[in-house]
Structure 1
């Protein structure tokens, strides 16, 4: 996979750079550049990010940061079995529980929501920081909905973090998930309220809360250019036959007027 000239590998996080010190210098540089490409492309072009992650994995499969990056790249292209294997490998290498929620979500992606719920109740969750615990709650609520337990999903999302007025990185997503869960059980007025709260907290535009609000309010957005084109198309075109007839009538009138003028001049 080609690496742009402006990518040096120095862009990676210092902790990842520290991990790569175990590799020969040239190899470490190559791995670093591929990891930079994974990070750059993960959101905008996940398929290419996945390809770069496979290169890094071939070069340095014993580096935890590489396994983790490969896991997220696989997750982004819905290769959940691969992602779970990479996350498990990274966790074994580091002993860190940070990946627990995304591992549980991989179980959901593989059609095993029951397993995700089991993971949500295991001791590892208590070792997560607050952001990780919120993420685990989101995964558990999703698993409940996968199993057709919509009311239980609503209850799962009710938490001190949801009730808090402070805005944290997870706030918009948590409020959005709660609004969506409320809508799924027919509590439309409450759902609208929480979509509005999600929009209020969504400073980075990570959700489509504004679109969901508009949908609930019956607002339909029309592109101005499309509406202009539609208006032009809506104007009835004058049939060709009518145009020809009008031209012939005009010519006839002009001819008669000319003859009348000639007769008056002759007299």
Structure 2
């Protein structure tokens, strides 16, 4: 797959660059460039990111960072069996537990919420950092909802992280998930309160909390451009008359 001229491979994280030092220099550079493309495209063009991840995987399947990138690309394309296999491979290579929540969410994607819940109660969760533990809580709540256990999902999300007034990288998503669960349970008043709190914490627009809040408030958005075009059409028709 083509690599844009502005991609040098130097853009990758220094830890990944260190991993690639086990490869011949030219090969390491090629792998690095493909990994840069995965990171660049995964949000806007997940299919494209997946393609570059497969190239990197073909070139250096024994590098943990490559397996991890392949897992993320597969996950972004809802290829959960493949993503789970890559995450497991990366975990075997590194011995870390960072990918545990993602592996559990892959189990959800494969229609195995019970397995995801088993993973949420595993000893590995205690080894996760705070962000990882919050992510695991979100996955567990999602699994409860998959199983139709809405009240249990709400209770799962109730935590010190949810109650905290400080804003962390995970705060908006946690508040949003809680608000969404409350709304699904018919507790619209509480849901509105938590969607509003999610909006306060969502500084980079990672959720559609503002839209959900507006929906609960009965606010309807109109397409201003569409209205202008309609006015122009009416004016043109009047001129002809």
Same fold (TM > 0.5): yes
Q: CA deviation at 1:232?
A: 4.8
Q: Per the alignment, in what secondary structure is the counterpart of residue 98 of structure 1?
A: coil
**Structure 1 stretch displaced more, 219-228 or 161-170:** 219-228
> Could you state the TM-score of these two structures normalised by the residue count of structure 1?
0.87
After superposition, give the CA deviation of every residue in 1:166-220 in whole Å (9 maximum; x if it has no partner).
0000000000000000000000000000000000001111011110011001111
Kindly report which structure 2 residues correspond to 1:69-80, keeping only aligned pairs within 5 A, or say none. Answer: 69-80=69-80
> Higher Cα Rg: structure 1 or 2?
1
Q: Partners of 2:150 and 2:228 in 1: how far apart? A: 43
Q: Partners of 1:236 and 1:149 in 2: how far apart? A: 57
Q: CA deviation at 1:237?
A: 5.2
**Does 1:152 find its partner at 2:140?**
no
Q: Per the alignment, in what secondary structure is the counterpart of residue 167 of structure 1?
A: coil
Q: CA deviation at 1:27?
A: 0.5
Could you tell me which residue of structure 1 aligns to residue 43 of structure 2?
A: 43
**Does 1:104 find its partner at 2:124?**
no
**Does 1:12 find its partner at 2:19?**
no
Q: Partners of 1:160 and 1:235 in 2: how far apart? A: 59
Q: Per the alignment, in what secondary structure is the counterpart of residue 43 of structure 1?
A: coil
Query: Tell me, which stretches of 5 or more residues in structure 1 are unaligned?
Result: 244-267
Could you tell me which residue of structure 2 aligns to residue 186 of structure 1?
A: 186
**Does 1:88 find its partner at 2:88?**
yes
Q: Partners of 1:232 and 1:216 in 2: how far apart? A: 33
Query: Tell me, which stretches of 5 or more residues in structure 2 are unaligned?
Result: none
Q: CA deviation at 1:234?
A: 5.9
**Structure 1 stretch displaced more, 227-236 or 100-109:** 227-236
Provide the aligned C-alpha RMSD in A: 1.4
Q: Per the alignment, in what secondary structure is the counterpart of residue 191 of structure 1?
A: helix
Q: Partners of 1:99 and 1:72 in 2: how far apart? A: 10
Q: Per the alignment, in what secondary structure is the counterpart of residue 92 of structure 2?
A: helix
Could you tell me which residue of structure 1 aligns to residue 128 of structure 2?
A: 128
Q: Partners of 1:107 and 1:60 in 2: how far apart? A: 26
Q: CA deviation at 1:5?
A: 1.0
After superposition, give the CA deviation of every residue in 1:16-55 in whole Å (9 maximum; x if it has no partner).
0110011111111100000000000111111000000000
Q: Partners of 1:51 and 1:57 in 2: how far apart? A: 10
After superposition, give the CA deviation of every residue in 1:96-128 in whole Å (9 maximum; x if it has no partner).
000000000000011111110110000000000
**Does 1:63 find its partner at 2:97?**
no
The size of the alignment, in residue pairs, is: 240
> Could you state the TM-score of these two structures normalised by the residue count of structure 2?
0.97
Could you tell me which residue of structure 2 aligns to residue 246 of structure 1?
A: none
Q: Partners of 2:39 and 2:12 in 1: how far apart? A: 9
Structure 1's 211 and 26: CA in aligned 2 closer, same or farther, altered over 3 A? same
Could you tell me which residue of structure 1 aligns to residue 226 of structure 2?
A: 226
